[in-house]
Amino acid sequence: MKHQDVALDPELLEILACPACHGRLELQQQRLVCLTCRRRYPIEDGIPILLVEEAELPDEDTP
């Protein structure tokens, strides 16, 4: 199954922040990635799921 490309309003992306550390989020592939703590938040049907318990944790070997 092919994933659709995700598009978020740039103004929305500018005001969103990581709920865990309040870092800036960046759209990478099909997720929002925190540039500070590296948690990855899914986007479902065009809606960011910004729940800490739904986030993928960063890989241990990723700086």
CATH number at residue 48: 2.20.25.10
Token look-up 């729940």 returns 51
What pLDDT does residue 2 have?
44
- Domain with 43, as residue range(s), is 10-54
For 1-63, list the strands marked E by DSSP. Answer: 25-28, 31-34, 40-44, 47-48
Does residue 3 form part of some domain? no
Does residue 59 form part of some domain? no
Over residues 17-39, the pLDDT tens digits come to: 999 999 999 999 899 999 999 99
- The tally of domains found in the chain comes to 1
Does residue 63 form part of some domain? no
What pLDDT does residue 15 have?
94
Does residue 25 form part of some domain? yes
Does residue 4 form part of some domain? no
Over residues 41-61, the pLDDT tens digits come to: 999 988 999 999 999 998 765
State both tokens at 52: 């800490």
